[in-house]
A and B are shown apart, each in its own frame.
Chain A
Amino acid sequence: MPGILREIAHVRTGDKGDISQIAVFALNDADYHRLLAAVTPERVAAHLPGLLPRLIRRYELPALGAINLVLEGALQGGVTRSLSLDAHGKTLGAQLLDLPLLPE
C-alpha cells in the first residue's frame, strides 16, 4: 500500500492576499523523490476540488527537502474580503495530508 502524504511529510500553510501558500517538507530526506512525485499541481487541484485556484505554482527546494506550493486566487478574495470561516485558508495544508502517495 502506498499510503498517504502524512506518513512522509509535514506541512505549513500561510497566506498573502488572495494567495494560499503551502510548504510541504519530507520528514526524511530519502523520501523527497516520493514527495516530488505525489505533490504535483494537478494532483493537488484534484484532491481539493472545492478550492478552485486560478493557478498553482510549484517551487522545488531540494536543499531543504521541500516543495513550496503557491495557489493564486484560492482564498475567495483574501483575508480582508473573504466570507469564509477560515479566511486565511490556514486549514488547507492539513487537508492535503491525506493525499494518496503513488506506488514506488
Chain B
Amino acid sequence: MTRSTLRIGAGAGFSGDRIEPALDLIEHGGLDYLAFECLAERTIGLAQAARAADPQAGFDPLLETRMRRALPLAAPRGVRIVTNMGAANTLGAARKVTEIARELGLPGYRTAAVTGDDVLDLVLAGDYPLIDRPGTSRDLGDAIVSANAYLGAQGIVMALGQGADTVITGRVCDPALFLGPLAHELGWSFDDHAMMGQGTVIGHLLECAGQVCGGYFADPGVKDVPDLARLGFPYADVGRDGVAVLGKLAGSGGRIDTATVKEQLLYEILDPAAYLQADVSADFRHVRIEQAGQDRVRVSGGMGARAPDKLKVSIAYHDGYAGEGQISYAGPGATARGRLAIEIIRERLRIIGARVEELRCDLIGVDAVDRRGHGGDPAEVRVRIAARTPCAQSATMIGAEVEALYTNGPMGGGGVTRSVRKVLAVASTLIARDLIQPRVHLEIA
C-alpha cells in the first residue's frame, strides 16, 4: 500500500549544522520523514581514524546529541529519521540510537544500520585507477586509511521495508537519503529512470538543508534574506508523480523562491545533463521551478537515464603534514612589511632545512583569496605562511619561524597564531557495482 503524498524534511546539511531548525520541523512541520545529511567527502576518513583509536567511536560526533533531542519529538509523532551519521561505524551508531531509545522509554523502537559501503578490503586487494589524479590505488600503499563506496537508496528502502523507525547509513549518495523514503512510500521503481531523476532533484534541493531557504544566498541590498538568524530548514511535499512543493515553517527565517531554489539546484553539480548517482544518471536540464505561494516553490521535470555500471569510491589516505603560521601588520607600509616578512620566512626555511613539499604565502586582505590580481593597500594585512611537509617536525618549523618574526622580523608585527595538522587527503576510483551490496542490520530497543 503506497500513499499519495509524502512530506520529508531536511534536518542537517553538514556534520556541524545547527539543530534548532530540525527540532522545529519535527515539532511543527507535520513531517513523515526527516533526513540528516552529515557526511562530507573526507569526514569518513577522519571518522575511520577516530574508530581506529576507539572501536566504539567512528560515527558522527553529534549523533548522540541530535538523537537525544530529536527522538522524544519524532517518536510520538511517527516521524521516521534517515541519516548518514553512521560514518565509519554504522552498526555502532545504530546500537547507540537503540541505547538512547531505551533510556528515553521507547520500547520496540527500531533502528536499522545500512552497511556495505566499506570496501577497504576490496581496494587493498586490488589495483584501481584513480579518477581525479594520476596513478592507481596501489600507489597510495600503506597510507590508505579507508575506502567507501557511494551506495544508492536501495539499502534505505530495504531498511524501511523492515519497519525501521530510524535508518543509519555510512557513505551513500546525499540525495539517496531522501530518494529512499520517497521510493519506499510512493512506490517508485528503481527501473523508472525519470522518477529516480526527479527524486534526485528533490533530494539534491533538500540535502544542504538551510541553503535552499536562503542560507548562503544573502548579499545585502542586492539579495536580501529576512531574519537570517532564525533561518529555517526546508521540507518537500511530494506526490506519486514526483511533483514536489518545497516549503518552510511559517515564522521561521529565510526565504524560498525561484532564485534560492535555482541556486541550490545547480550547486556542486557538474554536467547538468548527467548528474551521476548510484541510482540514476540524473538530467536537470528541463527542471521547472515555479512560485506556488509565499515561500512555496513547485519543482517538476527532473529526468534520468540508467545509472553508471560502476560506483564511485572515496579513498582517504595520509598525505604528510601541514604547518601554518600567521602574523598581522598595520599602518602605513603594512603591505610592504608583510611582503618583507614573507621573504624572510622563505629564506629561513631554506637555511634551517625544513622539508617543504609545497609552500604558500598569503597577504590576507590583499592576495590570499583574490584571483583577480587587484592587489591593494589596506590599513592592515595578515601574513599567512602554510606548507605541506612529509614530517611533523618540518611542519612545526613553519609556525616557529613565523613566531620568531616578533624579534627577528619587520617592525610592528602582532598576533601570531600557529598550527600543525596531519593531512588526510581523498582520492576517488570506480568499482563495479555488482561487487558492492548493501546490507541491513536491525536493532530493537
Contacts and interface: CB of A to CB of B under 8 A. Distances in A.
Nearest to B133: A18
Nearest to A94: B219
B337 to A, nearest CB: 19
A83 B360 contact: yes
B371 A51 contact: yes
A10 B285 contact: no
A23 B267 contact: yes
A49 B63 CA distance: 43
Nearest to B40: A79
Interface string A64-97: 1110101000000011110111100001100100
Contacts of B268: 14-16, 21
Contact of B270 (A16, A49, A66, A85): A16
Contact of B288 (A14, A63, A66, A84): A63
Contacts of B73: none
A79 B426 CA distance: 9
Given A21-B270, A84-B360, A50 B370 contact: yes
A43 to B, nearest CB: 13
A51 to B, nearest CB: 4
Nearest to B131: A17
Interface string A7-35: 00010101111110101010100000000
Given A6-B222, A12-B267, A81 B425 contact: yes
A12 B285 CA distance: 17
A59 B271 CA distance: 7
B223 A10 contact: yes
A95 B428 contact: no
Given A10-B223, A68-B266, A83-B386, A17 B428 contact: yes
A27 B111 CA distance: 45
Contact of A50 (B42, B273, B287, B371): B371
A47 B374 CA distance: 10
A15 B268 CA distance: 6
A46 B415 CA distance: 36
Contacts of B370: 50, 95
Interface string B209-222: 00000001101001
Chain B contact-residue range equals: 35 or more
Contacts of A86: 368-369
B266 A66 contact: yes
B286 A70 contact: no
A6 B286 CA distance: 26
A98 to B, nearest CB: 8
B201 to A, nearest CB: 12
Nearest to A99: B372
A14 B285 CA distance: 18
Interface stretch (B30-38, B75-83, B257-265, B406-414): B257-265
B388 interface: yes
B67 interface: no
B270 A83 contact: no
A85 B384 contact: yes
Which one of B222, B263, B358, B367 has the highest number of Cβ atoms from chain A below 10 Å of its Cβ?
B263
A61 interface: yes
B263 to A, nearest CB: 4
A48 interface: yes
Contacts of A61: 266, 272, 284-285
B336 to A, nearest CB: 20
Contacts of A98: 372
A50 B374 CA distance: 10
B269 A48 contact: no
B24 interface: no
Which one of A19, A81, A98 has the highest number of Cβ atoms from chain B below 10 Å of its Cβ?
A81
B322 interface: yes
B126 interface: no
A83 B387 contact: yes
A12 B71 CA distance: 34
B287 A64 contact: yes
Contact of A83 (B223, B262, B322, B369): B322
Nearest to B45: A80
A79 B423 CA distance: 11
Which one of A15, A23, A66 has the highest number of Cβ atoms from chain B below 10 Å of its Cβ?
A23
Contacts of B286: 63
A85 B381 CA distance: 14
A92 B288 contact: no
Contact of A25 (B262, B269, B359, B426): B262
B134 interface: no
Interface string B384-423: 1011100000000000000000000000000000000001
25 contacts: A10-B263, A12-B216, A14-B267, A21-B267, A47-B372, A48-B371, A48-B372, A49-B372, A50-B370, A57-B270, A59-B271, A59-B272, A63-B286, A64-B265, A66-B262, A68-B266, A68-B272, A70-B271, A80-B41, A80-B426, A81-B423, A83-B386, A85-B384, A86-B369, A91-B369
3 smallest A-B Cβ distances: which pairs?
A14-B268, A23-B266, A83-B360
